[in-house]
Structure 1
Amino acid sequence: MLSLKPGALSCSVCEGRALKCHTCVASTEEDCNKQGSTSCPQYADACSTITGPNTVMKSCSYKAFCDKAHSSNSGAKMECCFGDDCNGPHHSHSHGNSSQALACSPVVLMAALLLRMAFSQL
C-alpha cells in the first residue's frame, strides 16, 4: 500500500489551486513588473519569462512548453519557474526552482503570445 505524508504533494496544481504568475508584455523588465500577476488556468504548472530585443513577456505556461523551448538553441531567452509569482520582480534573477532555455525567438514569442491570448479568454 502506498502512503504519503501530508504535504508530500505540495505543488499548487496538486492541491487543486491555481498557480499565480506575473503576466505582462513590455519593453523593459521594470515596466513589465508593474503590470502585476494573475491566477493561471487550471493546468498551467509553470511561470515563464521570455526576453528578446526590447521585449519582456511574462505569462502562465506549462512545463512541457518549457522543456520544448529548452531543447531549442537560438533566439530569445526563456526562463521557467514553478512557484507562485516566481517570475515576479523579486524572483526575476533567482536561480531557485527554475529552468532556463534559449529558444527560437519567432516560434517561442508567437507561441507565448498565443498562450497569453488563450489565457486571457478564460
Structure 2
Amino acid sequence: MGLRRGGMNTLLTSLILVATAAQTAVCCSVCKDQVLRCHTCVAAGEEECDRQGSSPCPQYADACSTITGPNTVMKSCSYKSFCDRDHHDNPGVMMECCFTEACNGPKAHRHRGSPNTAMALRACPALLVGALLTLLVTSRL
C-alpha cells in the first residue's frame, strides 16, 4: 500500500507541476500585454516634474528612468538594456532606473534590480492562486 500511495503522490505532484507551468505560461503572456506606466516630464526641478503626471509606456518598455542634471530633471519610459549601460560619460548627470508601476514618481523609492515578483503576482492573480494551491496540496503529501 505504501508504494501505491507513493506512486499516487508522485502522480499528483507531477500533475500539479504541469498545471502550474501551463497556467504560468498562459498568465505571463497576458501579463506581458499590460503596459508599464512611468512618470514622464522634462522640467527645471523634481517638484515641477512630478506635477506633470504619468503616462503609459510603449509596449516593450520595461523600465522607468529619471535623469537629473544641472537645473534639469527628465523622467520617462525606458528599457532595461539602456539602464544597464554605463552612463558615466557626462559628469554632473545621474541616471536612475526602476522597474515597477510609476516607480519614478514623487517620493518613489528608486532601486536598481530586477522586476519585483510581487508585482507579477499582483498583475496576474491566477498565478498567485496556482502557487497557493500548489503549496497547499504539496504540504498535505
| TM-score in terms of structure 1 length | 0.65
Aligned to 1:42: 59
Q: State the number of aligned residues.
A: 94
Query: What is the CA–CA distance in structure 1 between the aligned matches of 2:58 and 2:69, rounded to whole Å?
Result: 25
Aligned to 1:119: none
Residues 1:77 and 1:7: Cα distance change in structure 2 (over 3 Å): farther
Residues 1:88 and 1:7: Cα distance change in structure 2 (over 3 Å): farther
Query: What is the CA–CA distance in structure 2 between the aligned matches of 1:6 and 1:53, rounded to whole Å?
Result: 49
The 5-angstrom pairing of residues 73-88 of structure 1 reads 73-75=88-90, 76-88=93-105
Quick check: 2:38–2:104 contact (8 Å CA) kept in 1?
yes
Query: What is the CA–CA distance in structure 2 between the aligned matches of 1:7 and 1:33, rounded to whole Å?
Result: 36
Aligned to 2:40: 23
Query: What is the CA–CA distance in structure 2 between the aligned matches of 1:7 and 1:53, rounded to whole Å?
Result: 45
Tell me the CA shift for residue 78 of structure 1.
Answer: 0.2
- 1:58-101 CA distances to partner (integer Å, 9 max, x unpaired)? 00000011112xx232321000000000000030xx254x26xx
Report SS of the residue matched to 1:31.
helix
Unaligned runs of 5+ in 2: 1-16, 114-141
User: Pick from 62, 72, 76: which aligns with 2:87?
Assistant: 72
Query: What is the CA–CA distance in structure 1 between the aligned matches of 2:32 and 2:56, rounded to whole Å?
Result: 14
Q: Answer 1 or 2: which has greater helix percent.
A: 2
| TM-score in terms of structure 2 length | 0.56
Let me know the Cα RMSD of the aligned residues: 3.0
Query: What is the CA–CA distance in structure 1 between the aligned matches of 2:106 and 2:57, rounded to whole Å?
Result: 18
Unaligned runs of 5+ in 1: 100-122
